[in-house]
Amino acid sequence: MIQSLIEPVSTYAGEVDFLFLLITVIVMPWFFLAEGMFFWLMWRFRYQEDQPAMYVTGNEPELKRWITVPHAMIIVLDLVLIAGAIRVWYMIKQDLPEPHETVRVIAQQWAWGFVHPGPDGLLDTEDDIEIADELHVQVGEVYHYQLESRDVLHNFSVPVFRLKQDALPGRRITGWFEATKTGVHDIQCAEMCGIGHGIMAARLFIHTPEEYQAWVDSHAPQQASAR
């Protein structure tokens, strides 16, 4: 479904897509059933000549079954959805695998800043690569991101990763991703953050190992000499 619109490009994207599909499959029949029953009741109990009015208290057993039975069925289905949601939440938000590298993501009105590790593979060293509106990663490697905001609430959204994370002023939030395909994709701010929210976009570059190493080598010396 959603895969036909936005391709999945992370290891957990398929799990997120399946959860949405599960929600759709479970909720959609109940939606159409409820709407169908609503219109049938309007037709069945429409005004008719010589039809006496009925006084309904809501305590009649034959009427209460229309509430209690569907509710019991929906509770069971809700437990399935809750279990699926907790599983995906834990996988993405709690169970962070060991990273190949860590990148820093800095949100501000209305641009993205990214701090990549240089040739030493570490942040906060002399060879860090600081760049605006471009995130460069290597395919098939686990990355941790450290998300910060310099001003207001933003949201780090990478649709192909099925990743969305609020950036909160005064906090550094750690998450992770692992890209599965090379390519160039969009990064968005998914939280209304002011008049320039609509133009707060960046690009995600997913490289092969050789391409990524060449990018690091070409940018690290330039960054170091600029300090």
Q: pLDDT tens-digit profile of 92-108? A: 988 899 999 999 999 99
Q: How confident is the model at residue 86 (pLDDT cuts 50, 70, 90)?
A: very high
Report pLDDT for 222: 54
Q: pLDDT tens-digit profile of 105-124? A: 999 999 999 999 988 888 88
- Mean predicted confidence (pLDDT) in 154-181: 95
Q: What is the mean pLDDT of the chain?
A: 88
- Mean predicted confidence (pLDDT) in 83-94: 90
Local structure of residue 199 (DSSP, 8 states): G
Is residue 179 within 8 Å of 10, Cβ to Cβ?
yes
What residue ranges define each of the domains in the chain, with the CATH number in brackets? 2-94 (1.10.287), 101-226 (2.60.40.420)
Is residue 109 within 8 Å of 193, Cβ to Cβ?
yes
- Mean predicted confidence (pLDDT) in 183-201: 93
How many helices and strands, by DSSP H and E, does the chain display? 3, 10
How does 154-182 read in b/e, with b if 16+ C-beta sit within 10 Å?
bbbbbbbbbbebbbeeeeebebbbbbbeb
Phi, psi dihedral angles at 127 (to 5 degrees): -100, 20
Report pLDDT for 225: 44
pTM for this structure? 0.78
Q: How confident is the model at residue 179 (pLDDT cuts 50, 70, 90)?
A: very high
